[in-house]
Amino acid sequence: MSTFPGSPRTLRGAIVAVEPRNPLARIVLFGYNPDEVSRSLKPRGAASGAGPGPGDAHRIWGAPVETISLTVEVDATDQLAANDPVAAVSGIAPQLSALEMLLYPSSSLVIANTALLQAGTIEILPPEGPLTVLVWGPGRAVPIHVDGLEITEQAFAPSLVPIRASVAISATVLTYDDLPVTDAGYSLFLVHQVLKEALATVGAVGGALAAVGDLAGL
């Protein structure tokens, strides 16, 4: 069945990883956007371990803690049908590897740190990972920390490389309460909040106009 010719082209979501030492960003485009994105928001508690007192009932201790979960389908069927040489040899292994590398330290840093340990260095800080951004349309680009990946490989080529998989991604949004002011993610989340505030204002005005219209019709 042919699709309606006037239907708009849907943007594809993506996860972008930018490393300070590498000007080229790693971009993982979703081959197929997930059907749903689950978000959970919880208020942030006080910085100290003590619970809030009676005078703190209306305080907001910062941006809420937001977790996101979505399932991405990765499929090489179209590439194989088009005789893509990379898909023919590797299937979807490059896409899966790009996602998995969000949880790995750089191998070059691992080797360098091992050499420093062998040389007698007392303390080595864990290496910094890239700035990871979930891009879901022009109005939602937020820095995230990938909490976990659950990969289900569902079909394989004769060489046993995966050609279809389902990847469940769980992540926590990083806010200005989690990042230093010099981090690019700090400003990125602040812009995200400003856009959200603008949408909330539009919704409030629309609700007020609808309420006035209802009263006028009584």
Tens digit of pLDDT for each residue in 8-67? 667 889 999 987 666 666 888 888 889 999 999 999 887 655 566 677 777 888 999 999
Task: Give the side-chain half-sphere CA count within 13 A for 128.
Answer: 11
Say which residues have a Cβ less than 8 Å from residue 185's Cβ, sequence separation at least 6: 131, 133, 143, 174, 179
pLDDT tens, position by position, 175-188: 999 999 999 999 99
**DSSP-assigned letter for residue 87:** H
pLDDT tens, position by position, 103-112: 988 888 888 8
**Element housing 28 (H / E):** strand 22-29
pLDDT tens, position by position, 91-103: 999 999 999 988 9
Say how many C-beta atoms besides its own lie within 10 A of residue 200's C-beta: 10
- 68/173 Cα distance (integer angstroms): 7
- 56/50 Cα distance (integer angstroms): 12
Q: 149: exposed, middle or buried (C-beta count within 10 Å: 0-12, 13-18, 19+)?
A: middle
Domain ranges for the chain, please list them.
Answer: 14-43+59-216
Task: Kindly report the length of the chain.
Answer: 218
Predicted structure pTM score: 0.82
